[in-house]
Amino acid sequence: MQDQIGSGEGQRKCDVVADALNRLLFELGIKCAKEEGVRDYFYVSVIGYGINVAPALAGPLAGRELVPLSEIAASPARLETRSKKVPDGAGGLVDQEVKFPVWVDPVANGGTPMSGALNRAQSIVSTWLMDHPGCFPPVVLNLTDGESTDGDPSFPADSIRQLSSSDGPALLFNLHVSSDSSAAISFPDSEEALANQFARTLFNISSTLPDGMRTYTQQQGIPVSDGTRGFVFNADVTSIIQFLDIGTRASDLR
């Protein structure tokens, strides 16, 4: 889910959210890439909310509500070329051009109907679970500035977290993009360090991390406890992709 955040002065939060979402899809495609294709280990729904609540993929997938990952990978709206710093083999860094697919464009629209969007997500997840009762628990990721304009999001959030497959409860994670200068926070276990009420609300509606994800988070050097939640404040959210287990992780010997 993506909030088409109304842009204000300074940094365009809508650009930050769209970029985070594109990077999520990019990482998910790479994670599931196999020889000459991407496996459909996941189906993806991208719902935008601004003037209305509606599917947000651009390009060939526009209007599609639930798309197998292989189609997502095969049909970005466009491929951009970006510059990436890579080791030069001599202890320094050098710019390298990489292809970066774009599926979602920033949209600056007024309104943040988060409750409506969460209700829509609940409906999609509920339908999915009827057809796939034994699946990996669905993950709903809400990317937003947190200022719900259509009521308290706690109730639809609860209704998502109450859904479950035989493998566990559905998970609701939140990314809060804020224009204030508070320090970035990843996967906190309390709301104390959060700068504003919107962030605290999003923290409180976020799922606690299941054991495997908590262990992975800890391995990344982030302190965890039983209360650690799937909430990120002004920080990189792509690590959530690494939470998703599709089998043996590939890493070099150390």
Partner 1 sequence: MLANIASFSVPKRGSAQQECEDSTWVGPDGLGAGEFDINRLRIVVADGASESLLAGRWARRLTSTFGTGKSSTRAKPNFIATYNTAVDAWAKEMDEYEVEREERGSPIQWYEEPGLAKGAHSTVVVVEIFDGKQGIPPFWRAAAIGDSCVFQVRNEELVASFPIQEEEAFSFSPSLLSSRGGENDVIRRHIGLTGGAWDHEDSFYIVTDALAAWFLRIARNGGHPWEPLRDMNTVDFDLDFESWVNAQRDAGDMHDDDTTLVRVDLY
Q: Which two tokens stand for residue 31?
A: 């994670």
Query: Packing angle between helix 154-161 and helix 114-131, nearest 10 degrees?
Result: 10
By beta-carbon proximity to partner 1, the closer residue of 31 and 176 is: 31
State the minimum distance, in angstroms, from the CB of residue 199 to partner 1: 32
The amino acid occupying position 34 is K
The DSSP line for 29-48 is HHHTEETTEE--S-EE--EE
Please identify which residue in 50, 101, 113, 153 interacts with partner 1, judged by CB under 8 A.
101
Residue 100 touches partner 1, criterion: CB under 8 A: yes
- Tell me the site size for partner 1, rule CB under 8 A: 25
CB 101 within 8 A of CB 79: yes
State the minimum distance, in angstroms, from the CB of residue 252 to partner 1: 5
Q: What is the CA radius of gyration of the chain?
A: 18
Q: How far apart are CA 72 and CA 38, in angstroms?
A: 9
Residue 184 touches partner 1, criterion: CB under 8 A: no
Residue 34 touches partner 1, criterion: CB under 8 A: yes
Q: Is the dihedral of CA 132, 133, 135, 137 positive or negative?
A: positive
Q: How far apart are CA 246 and CA 254, in angstroms?
A: 22
State the minimum distance, in angstroms, from the CB of residue 22 to partner 1: 12
Please identify which residue in 11, 30, 87, 197 interacts with partner 1, judged by CB under 8 A.
30
State the minimum distance, in angstroms, from the CB of residue 25 to partner 1: 10
User: Which among 172, 163, 169 is positioned nearest to 130, based on CA atoms?
Assistant: 163
State the minimum distance, in angstroms, from the CB of residue 77 to partner 1: 13
Q: How far apart are CA 87 and CA 103, in angstroms?
A: 28
Give the binding range for partner 1 (CB under 8 A) out of 6-14, 51-59, 93-101, 141-149: 93-101
Residue 91 touches partner 1, criterion: CB under 8 A: no
Please identify which residue in 9, 10, 35, 130 interacts with partner 1, judged by CB under 8 A.
35
By beta-carbon proximity to partner 1, the closer residue of 104 and 185 is: 104
Give the binding range for partner 1 (CB under 8 A) out of 1-9, 60-68, 95-103, 154-162: 95-103
State the minimum distance, in angstroms, from the CB of residue 194 to partner 1: 31
Count of CB atoms within 10 A of residue 155's CB? 12
CB 18 within 8 A of CB 106: yes
Q: Which residues bind partner 1 (CB under 8 A)?
A: 29-31, 33-36, 38-39, 73, 79, 98-101, 245-254
